[in-house]
Structure 1
Amino acid sequence: MTHGLDYPLSGISVVDLVRGPMASITRYLAELGARVDRIDEPGSAMDAVEALVANVGKQHHRIDLMSAAAQTLIDNAHIIVADSDQPIDLAALQRERPELVTMTVSDFGCNTAMTNWKGSGPVLHALSGELSRSGIRGREPLLPPGDLAYQCAASQAAYTLVTGLYRALKTGVGDHFDFSALDGAVQALDPGYGVNGSATMGKPANLLARARPAAGFQYPVLKCADGHVRLCLLAKRQWRGMFRWMGEPAAFASPEFDKMIVRYKSPELLPAIGAFFADMTREEIEAGGQKFGVPVSAILTFEESIDTDHVRDRNAITSLGTPDGRVAKVPNGMLCIDGLRTGLGAEGEAQAFRPPERSSDSGQPFEGLKVLDLGVIVVGAEQGRLLGDQGADVLKVESRAYPDGNRQSYLKYGMSVSFAAGHRNKRSLGINLRDPEGRKLFLELAAQADVILSNFKPGTMESLGLDYETVSAINPRIVMVDSSAFGATGPWSGRMGYGPLVRAATGLALAWRYPDDPEGFCDSVTIYPDHVAGRVGAMGAVALLIRRLRTGRGGTASVAQSEVMLSHFAADVARVSLGLPTGTPSDHPYGVYPAAGDDEWCVVVVDGDQSWRGFCEAIGFSAGEGLTTPAARLAAREGIDAALTAWLASRTPLEAATALQTHGVAAAPMLRLADLPDFAYYRDRNFYRTESHPYLPEDFLVERRHVTGRATVDAETRPAPLAGEHSSEVIAEWLGLPAETLSRLEETGVIEGVDPREWKAIEDTIAPSEQGRA
C-alpha cells in the first residue's frame, strides 16, 4: 500500500471465512484499508496461485474456528463474511449485535430449488445468459476465460458490504446478506436486463437471435505485420478519420458510409481496411489511429500488457513472493484514492473509528445524500443508479449539445427500455457547463452535494473548471469519483475509452477465442467491464463516505477499467509471470456439450475423484471404473466425451444437468437471456420485477434489489427522466431560486428543459390507452 494515504476503511475490522475464488470479496476491503483477518482452519487448502491473489493484504490465522482466538476476532469485527457451510450462525450473530454486517456466501443462495447444486465458473456463465452470447455463429458456445463470473460476483459482494457498513455506522442498523454468486454474476458481468447496449445488440433481450453473433461482428479484429489490432468505427467523425488515413479511396467516398449500418453491411470495406493494415506493425497502426482520431488498439497478450510503459508508469503491477520462494507479478489494486494507488501488500495505518451521532434508519442507506451524476454510457449509468436505487437524490447532469450515448433510441425523445432500466431513480438537470453562468450554477449545486460522479476522458473536468481542487475549496466534504478506460495518468490516458479496446490492450480479447481457431475472437458482444467498473467506482464513493464519517472531509476515487479487468485476471497474470500454464483442466469432462434440441447445450464440470465417480454413476459409464487416475482419464478422454455426448443426446439440458447435480457433478443448462425471468432459480429469488415507464409504450424487466438481505429494501421505482425534465424543479429545491430567475436561466439556455417537440413525440408514440400513465 502507498505511504501517506488515509485509507477510507482504516479502523474497520473484517473476518473472512470464505474459501475458493469468492475469497477475493474481502481483498477489496483490504485494498481500501480495512484489517481483514482470514481464518484458515487447519487442513484447509486452496490452489496456491489463487490463494496468493485472492488473499493478499489479509492477516492469516491457522486456528480452529471455535477457538478463543477466533472468537476474539469475531467479537471485534465490523463485518464477517463466511461460506454458507461454515459452522457459524451469522444471522444469529447479527441479531445479537444489530450493528454488525454479516454475509453468507454460496453459489445459489439459501432456500431455493438450487441451493444444494454445485457451482463453478462455467455453471455461472451458463445460468446467467453470458455463455449463450459467447462464441461464433455455427460453432459451439465458448466459455469465457479465467474466473470471470466469480470475480464479477465478488465485486458485487464487496460493494454490498461497504454499503451495509455505511448504513450500520450511520444508523446502528447492520444487515445479514444472503449473497449468491449467481446473483452477483448476473448483475455485474454483463446483464441482459439493464443498460444492455451491445449485450443485446440493440434489441430487447427476448428478441435476441438464438444463435451467437457472426464472426467479426461489430468490433472487428484485423491481421497486421506482427499480430492483430481491433478497430471500433462507431461515430461519423471516426469513419472520416479512417477514410482520410486510407487516402480517401473513391470506393468509399459516398456519404452513405457515414452511416454505421452501411459500413457494417459493406462486403468490401473491412477487407480494404485489412489490406491497408497488412504491412503495418501494431505500433504503427496505433500511432496512425491517434493521428487520425481512429479508435484502434493492438491485441496484446497478458505478458505484453503488463510490460507496457503505461502499466509501469501507473504502478499497476507489483511483485509478490510465493510460498515456494518465487516472485509473481500481480495487478496492484483497482482504485486510486486522493490521487494515490491503494495497492496491495502492507496494511494502512490504523485509525480509531469513532461512529458519528447516529441518524434514523429508513432501510435505504443513502437517503439524504445528494449526487451530481455527470456519468455517460454504461459505467456512468451504473454508478449513479446504484446510489439512486438505495435512496440518494441523483441528478443526471446533461446537455443537448453533448448528449449521453445512452439516449440513442428509435424514439425521438431519447428514451428506451435500456435507458429506463439503467437510469431509474434519477432526475435530470439540463445545464450548459460551458456557459460561465452554467458553470457558476453547477458550483453552487456542488456546494450542496455529497458526491460528484463522472467518466469523461481524463482532463475534461479540469477543462470545465470543475476539478476536485476547485470544488473542494467550496465544499471540503465533497466526494468525487471518476472512471476512464486506462486511468487519469499514463501514456494511454488519452486513448478512446471503448470496452473492446480495453479488452484488446489487456490480454482478454486474445484469451477469449477458440483454442483451435486463432481468428476466433469471441468477446465482441459483451460490454464487460463496464458494469463491474461502475460497481468499483460506486464502492470507492461509499468507502470515502465512510471515511467522511470519521474525518469530516471528502476525497477522490479514480477507476481505470483496464485495471479492473487485469485484477479480475490476477491469477492468470500471476501464472504467466511464473511460467505456469493458464486455462482449464483436460483430464476430466470440462466444457460445453450438445444436448437434445436445436442449438441446446449443457455445461459439465468434473473436478475431482468424487465428482468423477458421481459422473460415471449419472451417465452409466461403467468403463470409468478402471480410470482411477488423472493420467488414465486423460488417455481415455475421447471415449469419455463420446459417452457423455451420447447420454446427452436424448436429454434436454435441464434434465441432464439435474441428473448430474443429483450425483454431485457441477452442471447447468445454457440459458438465453429470454429464459432467465421464468427459470425456477430466479423466481425463487424473486430476482426480477416488471416496471412501466410513463413515456414508453412497453413494460420492461429490471433487477428487484442489489442483494438479498434481512434489512435490505427493494430498489426505488422512480422512472428514468427525459433530458432536462427536472431542471427547474431541482434547482429550486437545492438552491431555492425564485421562479423568475429560473425562467430567465431557461430562456438564455443556461438550463434546459424538455423540448416541447419531445412532448408531442411522446403523445404520438404512446397509445391513448397508455397515456394515463404519463
Structure 2
Amino acid sequence: MIKEASCTTDAPLAGVRVVEIVEGAMSLTGRWLADFGADVLRVDVEEDSSVTSDDGTFVTHSGVEFLAWHRGKRALRINPSAPGDKTVLTAEIGRCDILIEDGRLASLFGQDFSADAFQQANPALVVLSISDFGADSPCATWRATDPVLHALAGSLSRSGIPGRAPLLPPNALATPCAAAQAAFVTMLAFFARLNSGRGDWLDFSRLDGVAQTLDPGFGSAGSAAAGVRACDLPRGRPDARNQYPIIRCLDGFVRLCILSPRQWRGMFKWMGSPAEFADPSYEMLTTRSTSDKLTAAIGAFFMDKTRSQLEGEGQAHGVPTAAMLMPDEALDTEQNRARAVFEISSLRGHDVRLPKTPVDLDGGRMERGAAGLTHDDARAQILPQQALQTRQKSSAAPLAGLRVLDMGVIVVGAETGRLLADAGAEVVKIENPDFPDGLRQSRDGSPMSQSFASGHRNKRSLKINLRDEEGKTIFRNLIAQADVLLSNFKTGTLESLGFDEATLRSINPALVSIESAAFGRSGPKSRQMGYGPLVRAATGLSALWAYPGDPGSFSDGTTIYPDHVAARIGALAALALLVRRRRTKVGGTASIAQAEVILDHLAVAAPEPRSHLDSAGERLPWGVFSCAGEDDWCVVTVENQAQRQRLADLIGFAQSETGKSGTGDALEQALRAWLAMRSSTQAMHLLQDAGIPAGAMLTVAEMPDFEHFAARGFFREVTNPMLRTPFLVETRPVKARHLPDPDHAPAPMMGHDSEAVLREWLGSPKGSTTQHQNADDEVIENV
C-alpha cells in the first residue's frame, strides 16, 4: 500500500514525481528532493533485511539513520517475484519525472527493468544511476566504503598531524556530501528537461561526488590557504594548526579565525597591544600562521578565561571566536533551541531526536508533510513542456539566459555562483577593491590566485559602491533585471545597506534570493562572524576529528568542509525556487545554515567504527594500514564474514589461526605484514580484485593519474591569463548523455566587466557607464 502524499502550497518542487530505488545513505539524494516538496516514492524490496518502525514503514540499517534518510517520502513495498508487483512498479516509473536507482533494477526485476530501458521508453524521464565508481570506470566492479572514498578522493592524505598516521574523518561524512551533489545534478537535468522536453541519463559515481564536495583539492581553498590549493601542497599531513588555532582555556578550548589585517588588529588590541607583536609583519597571514611564539602568547592570555567569556570578548573585538564543543554539548545549545533545529520522531516506541532540514524557505523553516496544494494540481502548472523565457534560447546550457548577481565571498560564496555559471547562467560577481574577497589574496602578492581562478571561472566582475546613493541606484536597477541573487554575508548586512527582503521583493517580485550563513538567519549566534572552522568547532565535529585516546589532537585544520557541500545545497535551492517560479511567477528566498548542514550529516551518517565485529564476535579489519613505501597507506574495510574469508584466502592466512576480537587479532596482524611488503596501489588492486573494499591513500596531486579519474575525464587543464601555468579543475558536475560540459571563461580581474555589464543589463549610454565606472573606483564596502 502506498502512503498518501501531501505538500505545502508553496513547496518549490510540488508536482514533481520521483521514484527511488536506493539502499543506504545515498537515499539522501531523494530526501533532498522531498525536502523541497517533490513527491518521492521509496521502493522497498521484500528481500532486503528490514525491521518495521511504529508508522509501518520498512526500516533497514539501524533505524535512526533510516528515518533521517527517508523523512518526507512515501513507501511502496515490492516483491520482485510477484508479477502484480512488477506491474505496479512499472506504472509508477512510467508516470514519474525522475527515477533514482543504484543499479539493482535489472538484477532484481530483469533486463527489461534496467534504467536505460525506462529512459529510452520515456525520453522525457530523468534517470540518476548511482554507483560507487560509475558505469564506465575501470574500477566499476570495485566496492567503496566511506573510508575508501576518503582515501581515493584526496581528503585522507590531509587529515591528521604531521609525522603521524593519516586520520579517518569522523563518521561517514563522505556519502552525505555525495548525495547533495547527486541531488543538485538531478535538479539541473530536470530543469533542462523543462526547457527542452528531453530527459537525461546521469551516470553518477559516488567517488566523483565526494571528490567534488567534501574536500576538493582542486577547488577553492579557504582564506588561510592564501590562494594555495591542496594540489600544490607537499606529501604528508600539512601542519595547519596555527592557521585556525585551537587554544586551551580554563574550561576547554576555543578556536580563532584571524584572517584579515582588521581581525589581527582586533586581536592585538584584545591582548593589550603587546610590544613584541607590534611589528607590521604580523598583519600578514603567513607571519601569524607560522609564529609559535604568537600562539603561545595567546595561550597564556586565554588560560584563565572560560570558553563563554572568550567567545563573547572575541566577537566584541571583531575576532571570530568559537567555543570548542563536545558532541553532546553541541546538540543542546541556546542557538539550536532558539532555531528549533531538532524534532522528535518515534521509532519502535522510543523517541529519537533528528535534525530538521538546514534550509529556511521564504523566511521560515522548510517543513515537510503539511497539507495544501495537491501534487496533481501543482503538476498541471509546471510540467507542460514549454520553453523557459530565457535570453539565449538557442544555447544547450541548462541555465542559459538566467542572470545572477553574486555577492558571495570565500569558498561557499564562490562555489554557489560557480555551479550556476558552469551551467550557463550569466553570473556577475560584485566586488569592492578596498575589501577584496579573501580568495583573491595570494602568498606572493600575485593579482590572481589559483583558488580564485578555480572558484570564479565563467563569471564576470562588477564594482559598485553599495554605500553611495548612486551605487545603490545602480544595484536596484540590476536587481530589477536579475533572476537570482546570491550572498553569504553576516546576517543583517544586506538589511543594513537598505536591501532587506521586502525591499528586494518590491524591486523584483520574481527574484530568487539564496544566502548562506554560518549559524542561520535567527538565534543568538545569527549575527556572529562565522567561518567553516568555527562552525566545525561549534557543532562538535572538531572534537570528533581527533586521534582515539588523544582528545587534544584536533586534525581538521586543512579541511574546507562544509563549504563545498553547503554551496551544492544553495545551488539546489536556487533551481528548486526557479522551478516554483515557473508555476507561480513569483520568486522566493532560501537560507542555508552551515552549522545545521554538519548536524544533519552527523545524524544521517552511520558512524564508521574503528573496528568491526562479525556475527560471531570476531574482529573484521577496518582502518588505515601502513604499506611498503614512505608515507604510503592503504584503507582496508572488511564488512562481513564472506569478505573476511576472501581476505584470509588472499593473504594465505589459515582459518585455524583465526583470532577473536581484540587488538591482537591474528588476521589483522597478518594483513599488516602482508601490506608491509606491497605498495598501497598494488595492495588496493589485489584486495579489490578479491572483492574487499580497499583504497590507496592518494594525495591530491596523485588523483589525476588514478585510473578511475583518468578514464572518466574527471579533470581538465585550463588557463588564466594572470597565471603563469595551466591548472586543473573538474571537467563536469556529472557524466550525462545530454548535459553539455561547462565552458571555461577565465575568472576575471576585479571590475573587468563593469562597463559591459552596465551596458548590457541596464542599457546605459557610454557616458553614463563611464561615470559609473569612475565612481566604482572609489568603493563598495564588502562587509
The aligned counterpart of 2:678 is 651
Amino acid at match of 2:744: T
Cα distance in 2 for partners of 1:600, 1:347 equals 56
Correspondent of 1:469 among 496, 499, 502: 502
The aligned counterpart of 1:600 is 632
Q: For residues 45-56 of structure 1, what are the structure 2 equivalents within 5 Å?
A: 45=49, 46-47=60-61, 48-56=63-71
Contact 1:190–1:196 at 8 Å: present in 2 too?
A: no
Q: How far did residue 636 of structure 1 move?
A: 6.7
* Cα distance per residue 1:507-540 (max 9 Å; x no partner): 1001100002111101011111111111111111
Assess, with a 3 A threshold, how the Cα gap between structure 1 residues 348 and 231 changes in structure 2: closer, same or farther.
farther
State the SS of the aligned residue for 1:717: coil
The aligned counterpart of 2:87 is 68
The aligned counterpart of 2:647 is 615
State the SS of the aligned residue for 2:185: helix
Contact 1:198–1:527 at 8 Å: present in 2 too?
A: no
Q: How far did residue 435 of structure 1 move?
A: 1.1
Contact 2:47–2:79 at 8 Å: present in 1 too?
A: no
Q: How far did residue 746 of structure 1 move?
A: 2.3
Q: For residues 650-689 of structure 1, what are the structure 2 equivalents within 5 Å?
A: 650-689=677-716
Assess, with a 3 A threshold, how the Cα gap between structure 1 residues 274 and 153 changes in structure 2: closer, same or farther.
same
Contact 2:123–2:200 at 8 Å: present in 1 too?
A: yes
Contact 1:190–1:531 at 8 Å: present in 2 too?
A: yes
- Unmatched runs of 5 consecutive residues or more in structure 2: 50-59, 107-112, 388-392, 614-618
The aligned counterpart of 2:100 is 81
Q: How far did residue 467 of structure 1 move?
A: 2.5
Cα distance in 2 for partners of 1:271, 1:636 equals 37
Cα distance in 1 for partners of 2:444, 2:283 equals 21
Matched, 1:159 2:178: no
Contact 1:588–1:637 at 8 Å: present in 2 too?
A: no
Assess, with a 3 A threshold, how the Cα gap between structure 1 residues 253 and 679 changes in structure 2: closer, same or farther.
same
Runs (4+) of structure 1 exceeding 4 A deviation are 1-5, 198-202, 344-349, 410-413, 581-584, 750-753
Deviates more, 1:599-608 or 1:49-58: 49-58
TM-score by structure 1 length?
0.92
Amino acid at match of 1:329: R
Assess, with a 3 A threshold, how the Cα gap between structure 1 residues 752 and 278 changes in structure 2: closer, same or farther.
closer
Q: For residues 64-213 of structure 1, what are the structure 2 equivalents within 5 Å?
A: 64=79, 67-87=86-106, 88-197=113-222, 202-213=227-238
The aligned counterpart of 2:38 is 34
Contact 2:256–2:322 at 8 Å: present in 1 too?
A: yes
The aligned counterpart of 1:418 is 451
Matched, 1:434 2:467: yes
Q: For residues 349-498 of structure 1, what are the structure 2 equivalents within 5 Å?
A: 349-351=373-375, 352-353=378-379, 354=381, 355=383, 358-359=386-387, 362-410=395-443, 414-498=447-531
Cα distance in 1 for partners of 2:556, 2:446 equals 31
Q: How far did residue 316 of structure 1 move?
A: 1.3
Q: How far did residue 390 of structure 1 move?
A: 1.1
Amino acid at match of 1:593: F
Assess, with a 3 A threshold, how the Cα gap between structure 1 residues 81 and 514 changes in structure 2: closer, same or farther.
same
The aligned counterpart of 1:556 is 589
Amino acid at match of 1:510: A
Amino acid at match of 1:67: K
Q: How far did residue 463 of structure 1 move?
A: 1.3
Correspondent of 1:19 among 14, 17, 23: 23
Correspondent of 1:247 among 272, 275, 292: 272
State the SS of the aligned residue for 2:624: strand
Q: How far did residue 205 of structure 1 move?
A: 4.3
Amino acid at match of 2:386: R
- Unmatched runs of 5 consecutive residues or more in structure 1: 576-580, 754-774
Q: How far did residue 49 of structure 1 move?
A: 2.5
The aligned counterpart of 2:309 is 284
Assess, with a 3 A threshold, how the Cα gap between structure 1 residues 676 and 235 changes in structure 2: closer, same or farther.
same
State the SS of the aligned residue for 1:557: strand
* Cα distance per residue 1:285-327 (max 9 Å; x no partner): 11221222222111112221121111111121111111x2111
The aligned counterpart of 2:336 is 311
Matched, 1:334 2:358: yes
Cα distance in 2 for partners of 1:18, 1:706 equals 21
Q: How far did residue 209 of structure 1 move?
A: 1.6
* Cα distance per residue 1:79-129 (max 9 Å; x no partner): 110012322311221222222111110110002110000110000000000
Cα distance in 2 for partners of 1:585, 1:344 equals 36
Cα distance in 2 for partners of 1:727, 1:751 equals 14
Correspondent of 1:510 among 535, 543, 548: 543
Aligned residues with identical type, % of pairs: 46
Assess, with a 3 A threshold, how the Cα gap between structure 1 residues 133 and 199 changes in structure 2: closer, same or farther.
farther
The aligned counterpart of 2:241 is 216
Amino acid at match of 1:682: F
Assess, with a 3 A threshold, how the Cα gap between structure 1 residues 690 and 138 changes in structure 2: closer, same or farther.
same
Contact 1:99–1:169 at 8 Å: present in 2 too?
A: no
Cα distance in 1 for partners of 2:226, 2:409 equals 19
Contact 1:370–1:451 at 8 Å: present in 2 too?
A: yes
After superposition, the CA RMSD in angstroms is: 2.2
Amino acid at match of 1:416: S
Cα distance in 2 for partners of 1:155, 1:64 equals 30
Cα distance in 1 for partners of 2:441, 2:512 equals 30
Q: How far did residue 35 of structure 1 move?
A: 1.2
Deviates more, 1:436-445 or 1:256-265: 256-265
* Cα distance per residue 1:236-282 (max 9 Å; x no partner): 23223223323333433444333333333333322222222222221
The aligned counterpart of 2:533 is 500
Assess, with a 3 A threshold, how the Cα gap between structure 1 residues 700 and 97 changes in structure 2: closer, same or farther.
same
Contact 2:231–2:700 at 8 Å: present in 1 too?
A: yes
Cα distance in 1 for partners of 2:527, 2:338 equals 14
Contact 2:417–2:427 at 8 Å: present in 1 too?
A: yes
Deviates more, 1:466-475 or 1:377-386: 466-475
Cα distance in 1 for partners of 2:664, 2:126 equals 47
Contact 2:651–2:671 at 8 Å: present in 1 too?
A: yes
The aligned counterpart of 1:57 is 72
Q: How far did residue 472 of structure 1 move?
A: 1.7
Amino acid at match of 1:186: A
Amino acid at match of 1:51: F
Cα distance in 1 for partners of 2:351, 2:731 equals 44
Contact 1:125–1:149 at 8 Å: present in 2 too?
A: yes
Amino acid at match of 1:380: G
Assess, with a 3 A threshold, how the Cα gap between structure 1 residues 465 and 357 changes in structure 2: closer, same or farther.
farther
Cα distance in 2 for partners of 1:200, 1:261 equals 9
Contact 1:364–1:390 at 8 Å: present in 2 too?
A: yes
Cα distance in 1 for partners of 2:280, 2:204 equals 52
* Cα distance per residue 1:315-357 (max 9 Å; x no partner): 21111111x2111111100211101111456676434222355
The aligned counterpart of 1:265 is 290
The aligned counterpart of 1:760 is none
Assess, with a 3 A threshold, how the Cα gap between structure 1 residues 519 and 57 changes in structure 2: closer, same or farther.
same
Contact 1:200–1:208 at 8 Å: present in 2 too?
A: no
Contact 1:107–1:182 at 8 Å: present in 2 too?
A: yes
Contact 2:324–2:537 at 8 Å: present in 1 too?
A: yes
Amino acid at match of 1:612: R
Cα distance in 1 for partners of 2:478, 2:22 equals 43
Contact 1:191–1:199 at 8 Å: present in 2 too?
A: no
Contact 2:220–2:229 at 8 Å: present in 1 too?
A: no
